[in-house]
A and B are shown apart, each in its own frame.
Chain A
Amino acid sequence: RKEVEQDPGPFNVPEGATVAFNCTYSNSASQSFFWYRQDCRKEPKLLMSVYSSGNEDGRFTAQLNRASQYISLLIRDSKLSDSATYLCVVRLASGGSYIPTFGRGTSLIVHP
């Protein structure tokens, strides 16, 4: 079982739709959770951190469920420019360190 799992998609949605992605992680001792965005042939960039109480940034809402070991990302009112791969990142314990560990990403395509 992979340490961080995501549905690769693609999720194909019309403009204005609401779309949600989930990500599960295997290690209950994980600390810190993030969503990154990666455009085609570009490097990943931080989209938002995920806090225990849930957090929102404009059209984006992130949630953490420690009991079930998953995080989610909700995008409301999708824009064409939201088309990208969304990477779930979990800091996993490894030896004495916590390593930012990426899921394989979920591809989102927003069409007119």
Chain B
Amino acid sequence: DTGVSQDPRHKITKRGQNVTFRCDPISEHNRLYWYRQTLGQGPEFLTYFQNEAQLEKSRLLSDRFSAERPKGSFSTLEIQRTEQGDSAMYLCASSQAGPDLRFTGELFFGEGSRLTVL
């Protein structure tokens, strides 16, 4: 399967623990996005990378959240000192920017990593 894959699919943790999610995008895609989605809401933008560079972070993203894409391939999203409000589905998406770096329109999403903080 050459789609976007995310790991783990489900994570249950206790408040205060750290968690890390991994995303493997479609291999030829140079852009990678992280979104968070809660029940009844649309995906909320967290951050995105162009190759290995993190170009934008949501101002909603507290300093407990950090994301990396060290070699421009897979990405990790770490949440430190988790809180119950962090419970959500964390979605990763990738896309291919055109030669002029214009967004071509389609985000390819992984199946998400569901986080439950007790």
Contacts and interface: CB of A to CB of B under 8 A. Distances in A.
Q: Do A and B come from one complex?
A: yes
Interface of A: 4, 6, 8, 32, 34, 36, 42-46, 49, 87, 91, 94-105
Contacts, number: 51
A36 B114 CA distance: 21
B112 interface: yes
Contacts of A103: 42
Given A49-B105, A102-B44, A94 B111 contact: no
Given A97-B55, A99-B48, A99-B56, A104 B42 contact: yes
Nearest to B107: A100
Most buried by A among B42, B45, B110, B111: B42
A102 B65 CA distance: 21
A34 B48 contact: no
B109 interface: yes
A59 B48 CA distance: 34
A87 B103 CA distance: 18
Given A43-B109, A44-B109, A46-B106, A99 B40 contact: no
Chain A to chain B: the 9 pairs with minimum beta-carbon distance, closest first: A102-B42, A43-B109, A104-B42, A46-B106, A102-B43, A97-B56, A105-B42, A104-B41, A49-B105
Contacts of A4: 42
